[in-house]
């Protein structure tokens, strides 16, 4: 009794000192030096630059002509710093990587309930262009990461004309990228001329009263959205805006209320890789979005985004080199959402 009370001030002082010393170390352990981030990017680029597996998408004919060897890797931090390797300035079509950002626009305009009620938030477990999912689930569009949900999201944008709908969609994506972008018109023409599957989806949704504007207008604006040209750095900054709780680190503009960022990331985690979403979360543990142009962006909330681009895809339509690079970086830095996932 006597002894312990005698030692208390000493023990308290020791405790205070320990906390003082260890706390900054702990805080620091969550951050990375510029060198750590650049090394992780370089290592992933080197590790996968010679991978030749997979093939360019060709159901949109022009995508088959994009040079398959291109490969770019970027980390973009929530402060707007860029660490990069490879072909990071090459402009490719954003394709489905655009989908979470238009979902963000709907959340910002109409609240997340609009997404939940008018589109849905369940993963389909099926390919991005599934018509079966649309027939199977009463919600029809199912979630905004697959084509049905993304076309529905475009149709939900409050606009008086097709031009205004397009301007709102485009300006929102530019806002996330922090710079002016432009449509790759050849990609748009190639996709719109062959868009029979997406036209079927738009018409089916309209039939089920799950499309909120004219089907052909919605299809055109969706196809233009997918044809926006971006480079890997643009994708990095778009992801960094989500990592930065919805504020673009370059322009300082708020693109999404902070409280809705977790809701958007949750949809990306469960459906961003379509029927490969479970496998991706198992492997890399990061909310992400892929596109058949070869781009992928992953978000480490509160820290940074990892973006990668390479045109050769696997069966579900996800870029093989981009996937491996991102998984490698996430594993190397130990930033998986549920704890450190192993690298490749």
Give the footprint of ligand GLN on this chain (CB under 6 A). Answer: 95-96, 128-129, 147, 191, 198, 226, 291-292, 317
Main-chain dihedrals φ then ψ at residue 201, nearest 5 degrees: -60, -45
Q: Which is nearer to ligand GLN, 233 or 289 (CB)?
A: 289
How many residues belong to the chain?
A: 344
Query: Minimal CA–CA distance to 288: which of 331, 252, 229, 239?
Result: 239
Using the minimum distance from each CB to ligand GLN, give the nearer residue, 80 or 127. Answer: 127
In this structure, the number of other CB atoms found within 10 A of the CB of residue 264 comes to 22
Minimum Å gap between C-beta 292 and ligand GLN is: 4
Q: Which residue has the tokens 């954003």?
A: 94
Cα separation, 197 vs 210, in Å, equals: 17
Closer by beta carbon to ligand GLN, 240 or else 292:
292
Whole-number Å distance between alpha carbons of 238 and 264: 13
Contacts of 99 (CB under 8 A, 6+ apart): 144, 145, 149, 150, 153, 289
Could you give the CA distance from residue 344 to residue 332 in angstroms, rounded to a whole number? Answer: 9
CB of 275 or CB of 332, closer to ligand GLN: 275
The full DSSP string for 56-123 is: ---SSGGGGGS-TT--EEEEEETT--EEEEESTT--EE-GGGGHHHHHHHHHHHH-HHHHHHHT----
State the nearest-atom distance from the C-beta of 147 to ligand GLN, in Å: 5
Minimum Å distance from CB 138 to ligand GLN? 23
Render 210-247 in DSSP notation, one character per residue: ---S-HHHHHHHHHHHHTEEE-HHHHHHHHHHHHTTTB
Closest residue by beta carbon to ligand GLN: 96
Q: How distant is the alpha carbon of residue 258 from its chain centre?
A: 16
CB of 233 to ligand GLN, least distance (A): 19
State the chain's maximal CA–CA distance in angstroms: 88
Confirm if 161 and 220 have CB atoms less than 8 A apart.
no
- Residue closer to ligand GLN, measured from CB, 85 or 297: 297
Give least dist CB 306 to ligand GLN, A.
Answer: 18
How far, CA to CA in Å, does 70 sit from each of 66, 204, 223, 231? 8, 37, 24, 11
Residue among 77 and 198 whose Cβ is closer to ligand GLN: 198
Minimum gap (Å) between residue 207 Cβ and ligand GLN: 19
Query: Least separation, in Å, of the C-beta of 191 and ligand GLN?
Result: 6
Identity of the residue, 108 or 200, whose beta carbon is nearer to ligand GLN in the bound complex: 200
Q: Give the nearest distance from C-beta 146 to ligand GLN in angstroms.
A: 8
- Distance from the first to the final alpha carbon of the chain: 56
Min dist CB 20 to ligand GLN, Å, is 51
Beta carbon nearer to ligand GLN, 56 or 95: 95
Closer residue to ligand GLN in complex, CB, 112/272: 272
């Amino acid at each position: 009794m006597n002894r312990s009370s005698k030692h208390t001030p000493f023990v308290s002082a020791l405790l205070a000192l320990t906390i003082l010393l260890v706390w900054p170390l702990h805080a620091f352990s969550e951050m990375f030096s510029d060198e750590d981030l650049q090394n992780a990017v370089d290592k992933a680029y080197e590790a996968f630059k010679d991978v030749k597996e997979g093939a360019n998408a060709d159901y949109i004919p022009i995508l088959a002509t994009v040079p398959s060897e291109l490969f770019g890797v970027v980390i973009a931090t929530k402060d707007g710093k860029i660490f990069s390797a490879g072909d990071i300035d090459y402009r490719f079509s954003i394709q489905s990587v655009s989908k979470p950002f238009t979902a963000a626009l709907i959340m910002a305009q109409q609240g997340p309930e609009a997404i939940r009620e008018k589109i849905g938030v369940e993963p389909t477990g099926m390919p991005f262009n599934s018509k079966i999912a649309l027939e199977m689930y009463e919600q029809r569009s199912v979630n905004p990461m697959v084509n049905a949900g993304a076309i529905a999201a475009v149709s939900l944008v409050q606009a008086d004309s097709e031009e205004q709908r397009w301007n709102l969609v485009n300006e929102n994506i530019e806002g996330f990228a922090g710079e002016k972008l432009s449509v790759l018109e050849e990609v748009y023409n190639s996709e719109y001329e062959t868009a029979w599957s997406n036209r079927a989806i738009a018409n089916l949704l309209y039939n089920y009263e799950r499309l909120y504007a004219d089907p052909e207008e919605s299809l055109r604006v969706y196809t233009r959205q997918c044809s926006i040209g971006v480079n890997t750095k643009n994708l990095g900054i778009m992801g960094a805006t989500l990592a930065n709780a919805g504020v673009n680190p370059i322009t300082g503009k708020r693109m999404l209320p902070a409280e809705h960022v977790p809701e958007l990331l949750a949809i990306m985690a469960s459906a961003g890789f379509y029927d490969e979403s479970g496998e991706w979360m198992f492997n890399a543990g990061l909310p992400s979005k892929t596109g058949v142009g070869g781009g992928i962006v992953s978000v480490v909330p509160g820290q940074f985004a990892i973006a990668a681009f390479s045109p050769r895809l696997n069966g579900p339509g996800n870029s093989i080199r981009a996937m491996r690079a991102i998984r490698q970086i996430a594993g190397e830095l130990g930033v998986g959402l549920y704890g450190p996932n192993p690298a490749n």
